Amino acid sequence: MQPAVMAIVEKSRGTQLSVVGTRIVHLCSACDAETLAAFHRNRPNPLMPDELPHITS
């Protein structure tokens, strides 16, 4: 498992998403390889939750 930073988003005004915070999630380097790659590519920006359809906290 590898740590990554994920945004906590909140919907405001219907469809607009705004980032209200971040949290650490742990991703499997095998199952979540693409998500981890996206995270490292976009650092230091957090992952957006819609890139983590299977995440559970």
CA angle 7, 51, 12 (to 5 degrees): 50
Contact 3, 47 (CB under 8 A): no
Judged by CB under 5 A, the chain residues 15 through 34 that form the site for Zn ion are: 28, 30-31
| 2/49 with CB nearer Zn ion | 2
| 19/28 with CB nearer Zn ion | 28
| 24/30 with CB nearer Zn ion | 30
Q: Which residues make up the interface to Zn ion (CB under 5 A)?
A: 28, 30-31
